[in-house]
């Protein structure tokens, strides 16, 4: 009376709660009939998520918009199906469409980032079956040129002694300290120029 049932496949295509059933008619030695029923119930097989799960971009003079596409392979759900979401964070807004297309819109131009400095946001998303994934967006700083003003030109009349001229430069810089310069002494035929930091 010991019996064995060997399934013909793994039935991964069955989703949660779906079933396949087989019934087998058997008899005892005297011909008395009985039915053995085997039921296989589906479980969730996690999707495999790939695609643009990380993006890095250099900051510009305007808020960045980054785009990407996630893919999902799922034996018991439709491929490339996601739970649509909009996630708002300090550094920007991330939107995921049900087909895996995503967009990140930065909240600012991030001009305050200097060369090599970064801000990063990570967003938790799920495929339609609940399989989680993380999309990470990184914005890298670049050098935003300073605006230099002040005494950039001077004219003086010669006298009977060597002249000394003085001036002040100013700098406005979104990603460095204002009014900061590289100290220098430059010797030329007509005189020596010295700039303090």
| Residues forming CATH 2.60.40 domain(s) in the chain | 48-140
Q: How far apart are CA 127 and CA 134, in angstroms?
A: 11
Q: How far apart are CA 143 and CA 156, in angstroms?
A: 36
pLDDT band of residue 14 (cuts 50, 70, 90) is confident
The reported pTM is: 0.72
Residue pLDDT, tens place only, 110-159: 999 999 899 999 999 999 999 999 999 999 999 989 999 999 999 999 99
64's CB contacts (< 8 A; 6+ apart) are 57, 104, 105, 106, 109, 110, 139
59's CB contacts (< 8 A; 6+ apart) are 109, 110, 111, 113, 139, 140, 141, 142
Phi, psi for residue 109 in degrees, rounded to 5: -80, -15
Task: Kindly report the CATH number that applies to the domain delimited by 48-140.
Answer: 2.60.40
């Amino acid at each position: 009376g010991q019996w064995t049932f060997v399934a013909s496949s793994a039935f991964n295509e069955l989703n949660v709660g779906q079933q396949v059933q087989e019934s087998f008619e058997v008899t005892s030695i005297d011909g008395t009939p009985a039915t053995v029923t085997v039921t296989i119930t589906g479980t969730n097989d996690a999707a495999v998520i790939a695609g643009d799960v990380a993006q890095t971009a250099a900051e510009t003079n305007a808020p960045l918009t980054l785009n990407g596409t996630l893919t999902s392979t799922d034996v018991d759900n439709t491929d490339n199906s996601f739970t649509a979401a909009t996630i708002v964070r300090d550094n920007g807004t991330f939107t995921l469409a049900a087909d895996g297309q995503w967009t990140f819109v930065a909240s600012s131009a991030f001009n305050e980032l200097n060369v090599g400095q970064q801000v990063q946001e990570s967003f938790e998303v799920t495929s339609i079956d609940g399989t989680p994934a993380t999309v990470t967006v990184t914005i890298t700083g670049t050098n935003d040129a300073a605006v230099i003003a002040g005494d950039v030109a001077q004219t003086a009349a010669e006298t009977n002694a060597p002249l000394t001229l003085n001036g002040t430069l100013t700098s406005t810089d979104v990603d460095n300290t204002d009014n900061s310069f590289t100290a220098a002494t430059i010797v030329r035929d007509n005189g020596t120029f010295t700039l303090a930091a």
